[in-house]
Structure 1
């Protein structure tokens, strides 16, 4: 529970379910989405067929519940359906990035590249994010967070 609290979630407001196999995980995932009283449902699956993803998408739409299917493969053989289409409205890919070197010896904050690969009626995009900052929130790297958007747009227009 300490990790849940560190992520900003109240442990007494989180329901954790473990299932015996992937079929049971998908059944629990769908049931959670259909309940309608949950803020979000997260399920970790290795394989997600178009049919299963469509059932999850319809359940999420019906109850307006956020559903996140985390597809993390523990073995290379499980990654066989990487890139296969799903019925999800949004698709993200998260990859690890090297941490920024610190001025003193030690490990820097973890960083990730979050790629918005598919967005229903939207554009794709990439984001670099860092592990929790001093306030306990996921943060944009300082070079991105502190820049002025107007100057960036002006620079692009001026150089065109």
Structure 2
């Protein structure tokens, strides 16, 4: 009996060490985008669950910042269960994220007074294990903090998204520092394509995959718009 317990403990320790060293898990669970050009590029065909991911705006304007928030909302909208969204600024527009499939009755909002409190709520949510996804808006993310978040995600199996938001442009340089996030994305808004009838065209994004564990960096220009035109069955094309 003791030998069986020791073997199980050793196997569990080996699996944890493998994750820390970046070795691929034998049964990695992923969340596909439903957009072929992106899913084919990502290891396993989608975003890893039980992992931390980073998203930032391509510029310092409100439009790119909104695009980054919508990108994150579109990801967690395709999970099951409640979504924890941690902020320091009360400017998240619920009707906008509902348009990408994240209904207001699924979102639990945490309004914290400072970034340290946001990170603490972020980590607690990641460790909880009963949430569909956890999103936090932070300016700085150190290697130590990101490792804690990544380990919490691996333990619970939850997907966590850190939206990098800066109050001052000088803070944007922090995005170049390494973290333990499995993927790192940058989202920029592009001019919409004209419609055959009067009206506002469908939004277009430039999606940059800056870092991905197990894959090369890549750019996807208007990938979600292409999915719509090809009538792929994707939640992004509603």
TM-score, length-scaled by structure 2 = 0.52
- Cα deviations by residue, 1:68-96 (Å, 9 ceiling, x for unpaired): 00002232122131311111111111112
Match of 2:142 among 25, 43, 49: 49
Question: How far apart are the structure 2 equivalents of 1:20 and 1:82?
Answer: 22
Report what 1:122 is aligned to.
215
The alpha-carbon deviation at position 145 of structure 1 amounts to: 5.2
Report what 2:204 is aligned to.
111
Report what 2:156 is aligned to.
63
Question: What stretches of structure 1 move > 6 A for 4+ residues in a row?
Answer: none
Question: How far apart are the structure 2 equivalents of 1:12 and 1:43?
Answer: 18
Report what 1:135 is aligned to.
none
Q: Secondary structure at the match of 2:124?
A: helix
Report what 1:90 is aligned to.
183
Alignment of 1:25 with 2:109, yes or no, is: no
Question: How far apart are the structure 2 equivalents of 1:43 and 1:89?
Answer: 16
The alpha-carbon deviation at position 106 of structure 1 amounts to: 4.5
Report what 1:6 is aligned to.
99
Report what 1:152 is aligned to.
none
Count of aligned residue pairs for this structure pair: 138
Moved more, 36-45 or 112-121: 112-121
Q: Which runs of 5+ in 2 are unaligned?
A: 1-93, 231-238
Q: Secondary structure at the match of 1:67?
A: strand
- Cα deviations by residue, 1:17-59 (Å, 9 ceiling, x for unpaired): 1110000000000000000000110000011111111111111
The alpha-carbon deviation at position 103 of structure 1 amounts to: 3.9
Higher relative CO (Cα under 8 Å, sequence separation at least 6) belongs to 2
Moved more, 103-112 or 52-61: 103-112
Question: How far apart are the structure 2 equivalents of 1:110 and 1:40?
Answer: 24
Let me know the Cα RMSD of the aligned residues.
2.3
TM-score, length-scaled by structure 1 = 0.75
The alpha-carbon deviation at position 6 of structure 1 amounts to: 2.4
Question: How far apart are the structure 2 equivalents of 1:50 and 1:91?
Answer: 14
